Structure 1
Amino acid sequence: MDKSLFRVKVVPFLGYFIVLIAMTILGDLVLHQFDLVWVGRYLGIPGTLLIILSLLYSLRKRKIIQSGNPRFLLSLHEVFTWLGALMILIHAGIHFNAILPWLALLAMMINVVSGMVGRYLLDRSRRHLTGMHEKYTIHGLSKTEAEKELFWDSVTFETMQKWRIVHFPISFAFAMLAIGHIISVFMFWGWK
């Protein structure tokens, strides 16, 4: 049985992402089926608010705010970001009206993926590597032999550790693009 890091940790992560996309398609389909497409137009508002609320974790982590349990705020960050992203994806639907919202959507998706890498893969991957290394040494392999057996898993893990290099700048780009989109909505909204 293949117990590689990719199969054990990366494949389930991809499953979470596929569920997000599937829920988006299902949500958009339901809105179209019941002639409620207009609801999707407004899902961007609660989606954006959820993502803004998810930033409490980042503020706590950087000690900008002092209150709140970091573990609880991390859980809220994950749930609010996932639900906010789902609402924004349904809001975007399959409609192509302008480039700015689609750039914001693309930045959001890259940000969601990079956040999921940090959350779902790194900690589990670190534990997997440690466990496999211990297993190999218990079975009599030397440290060098165990490292040789885990070479590709180690390469995969080291690559995944670079997720913060992508996550913060993409978060910033997403924020700027989203703000630009929101400003343009207010500028061109039919206020009559």
Structure 2
Amino acid sequence: MKNGIILKDVIPFILWFSTMIFSAIILDFVLHYFNIVFIGRHLGYLGTFTILISFLYSLKKRKLIRSGTPKGLLDFHEYLALSGSIMILVHAGIHIHSILPWMAVLVLIINVASGLVGKYILQQSNRTMKNKKAKLRESGLSDEEISKKIFWDEVAIDNMKKWRKIHLPITYFLGLFSLIHIISILLFN
């Protein structure tokens, strides 16, 4: 169990996600305790800007920018998206009085969860496949025999890599709800 999936992948996922929610609650509590709740409004702007900067990774993947390494920008994306999400959750607080912000917050939480699930599922899949190939090589199988034995595993991993087909539409919905929220605030405040 020392190297099990639960220890390596499920617990880190739960810790990251719980840290995000817990940090938002604590920060919101501190703002209320010191009667500086107005800062929450500004965290919405800062959180949105932080999340937008995190999309440098997407620009690199689509070869629209040249600087940075994919791994470095992925780490940058993950941390900025998580910290921006915390700021936006604090911005939302518990004072949401209309359906649109609630929907945006719900989509934000789902989006972060889907990103973390994708991260940890892909990590585990790649690690498992690497270990399986190494064990098959050690047992003396040829590359062709290994390919036959792991064919269905590779098919499964290829399908798991398509988690982005779920993550990206959720991200687009988040962007749409955020844009509608921002426009409605500008029009009606």
Query: Is this a same-fold pair by TM over 0.5?
Result: yes
Q: TM-score w.r.t. structure 1 length?
A: 0.79
Aligned equivalent of 1:103: 103
CA RMSD after TM alignment: 2.8
**Residue 165 (structure 1) shift:** 2.2
In structure 1, the residue matched to 2:164 is: 164
The answer (yes or no) to whether the contact 2:103–2:177 under 8 Å persists in 1 is yes
1:54 matched residue in structure 2: 54
Q: What's the % identity of the aligned pairs?
A: 42
Query: Does residue 185 of the first structure (1) align with residue 182 of the second (2)?
Result: no
**What is the 5 A alignment of 1:1-192?**
1=1, 3-131=3-131, 134=134, 161-189=161-189
CA distance, structure 1, for counterparts of residue 67 and residue 8 of structure 2: 36
* Secondary structure of the structure 2 residue equivalent to 1:43: helix
Unpaired runs of at least 5, structure 1 = none
Unaligned runs of 5+ in 2: 140-145
Q: What TM-score, normalized by structure 2, do the two folds share?
A: 0.81
Alpha-carbon separation, structure 2, partners of 1:178 and 1:49 = 12
Aligned residues between the structures = 180
Letter in 2 for 1:126: N
Residue 55 of structure 2: SS of its match in structure 1?
helix
Tell which deviates more after alignment, 9-18 or 127-136. Answer: 127-136
The ranges of structure 1 where at least 4 consecutive aligned residues each deviate by more than 3 angstroms after the TM superposition are 1-4, 132-139, 157-162
Preserved CA contact (<8 Å) 1:61 1:70: yes
